[in-house]
A and B are shown apart, each in its own frame.
Chain A
């Protein structure tokens, strides 16, 4: 079975440009999570969706960040305008996420997108 798919794997852009990261969750998973990982701050949850609806976006750093999930098999994380401090690895993860605990809470991570903003 295909795991979580992310694209692009690497993105290099200049400050001020718009960046769009893409994610396809595991088929049948109804929860999707966007994380950012840096050496200084570790793995930070940005936003998560359940059944395509954003549930908690309190981790989104500022209005320059936005995320959408138009259907069960696709999500985007957009940064506009990008800044050098946005440079990080962005991970998408998915789970069956019924919220009742146990195995359904297990999150499976995609390979990540390494973003460099010059």
Chain B
């Protein structure tokens, strides 16, 4: 079974700190990787996508991909209380059009 694993949290960080969210996946041939943010009672919204090894930065967000270790992470710099949400990792597995989602990590940023 192809899976995406995330620590459910909650991950609690103080305001201004770096939040590090991690995700592992089981298919070495996976092609596309996504991070979605979901506020309570809302739908998932795309934050970052990454397709090749290395880092990809967008504002306060950095996605990191290591295909050899089957590991993708999301760093949030200068965390704000408004970043408090559940972060879902999603992977497109080889031969499958749909994305496979992890169960999400709940992030709490303490003012």
Interface residue ranges, A against B (CB under 8 Å)? 31, 33, 42-43, 45, 48, 50, 55-56, 91, 97, 99, 101-103, 105-112
Contact = CB atoms under 8 A, between A and B. Distances in A.
Interface of B: 31-32, 34, 36, 42-46, 49, 51, 88, 90, 92, 96-104
Given A42-B101, A43-B88, A102-B51, A110 B32 contact: no
A101 B51 contact: yes
10 contacts: A42-B102, A45-B98, A50-B97, A56-B96, A56-B98, A103-B49, A105-B34, A105-B92, A106-B49, A107-B99
Contacts of B104: 42-43
Contact of B97 (A48, A110, A112): A48
The residue among B31, B36, B90, B97 with the most chain A CB atoms within 10 A of its own CB is B97
